[in-house]
Amino acid sequence: MRESECANYEKTRKAITERKMALEDAIERYANKMMQELNKPWMKINETINKQEKQLHHTDIPLERTFILPTNKVPQFSDGNLPEECISNMFGSLVNRSDRSEEIQLSKIKSYDTDFLYINPVYPINDQTLLIGCAADKVLKQVAVEKKFKEINELQEVQVSSIVSSSLGKVILSESNDTFLKLLESDGKLQQFVDFNPLIPKGIFITDENEIFVGLREKTKNPFVIDRYSERQVRHLDSHSRTRHIYEFDENQKRLFTVPSRIIASNLNIHVLDTKDEDNGRIITLDFPGSVKWVYNGHAFSKFAFCPNDFALSPQGYLVVTDTHNDACTF
């Protein structure tokens, strides 16, 4: 036992030291870059000052009696904030390993090839039928899972973001830049369902009682830039599509989300896959009053940044998260 724990201690200690050195290198590179940016205008200003001084030396006016109006063209340095939460997100944190580890065995049953650039989302209508989409290819397909994918229906010019179905069998989806949730009819056509204008729906979840949770953001060219006019929220609708509650800020009036891309609601919790930028994300779990219960920023020993793409809730209550950059499933 001592040997094992000593090995774990040394491994963790080494990881902390390596992370410290990596951040020191990153900070030094960034500081050098800032110095280079500062030196460029200073060299021009210094050259101009030298020329003026030489000209003044050739005049009859004493240099010490000459007044030169300052130009204030040298950039000033503005200190950045270093809150502990920010440092923790960059550096990492110590996590307690469970006293009882469970071995989870996964095995591939079958794989299928497609002509999609990527597949996201994947939504099972039943055990034999899937909806698969690709926003980049602007296509949504309904396929039967047999020996090969058998295409049942195809919709073009659809940039699907999220798909769910109600207990009544209605299939509802959101699109990348559309303010409507839409119904997928049995004939394969899309019908407008609920309009959130001027906001765009992203992640969707429907309860057994047909209440809807939907992630929303404003229309913007860069969804990962947030200012005081931004609206990033999860909205809870009743079975008649009336707003019951809006989750947007915590008790300290701090924004909860960047882009709420996926949502799962249970009896006690609201789980939100929050996309922070193209390469980073996190899982936020709220209670129904809206208080943050916990935030997951990825495994402490992951090689790359945590980039969650989708998640699901198992019958045993485990959140299963796909992590794109680490080619992993997190339980």
> Per the structure block, which two tokens stand in for 308?
């969650």
Question: What residues does each domain of the chain span?
Answer: 2-70, 110-158, 161-330
C-beta neighbour count of 156 within 10 angstroms: 9
| Amino acid in position 40 | K
Cis peptide before 121 (omega within 30 of 0): yes
Each residue's pLDDT tens digit in the chain (331 positions)?
455 566 777 788 888 888 888 888 888 888 888 888 888 887 877 787 788 777 777 665 555 555 555 556 667 766 666 666 666 666 666 665 554 445 667 788 888 888 888 888 999 888 888 999 998 899 999 889 888 888 888 889 989 999 999 888 889 999 988 999 999 988 888 999 999 999 999 999 999 999 999 999 999 989 999 998 999 999 999 999 999 999 999 988 999 999 999 999 987 899 999 999 998 999 999 998 888 999 988 877 778 888 888 998 888 888 888 888 777 777 6
239: exposed, middle or buried (C-beta count within 10 Å: 0-12, 13-18, 19+)? middle
Please, are residues 305 and 276 in contact by the beta-carbon 8 Å criterion? no
175: exposed, middle or buried (C-beta count within 10 Å: 0-12, 13-18, 19+)? buried
Q: What are the beta bridge partners of residue 50?
A: none
Cis peptide before 198 (omega within 30 of 0): yes
The fold of the 161-330 domain, in CATH, is: Neuraminidase (2.120.10)
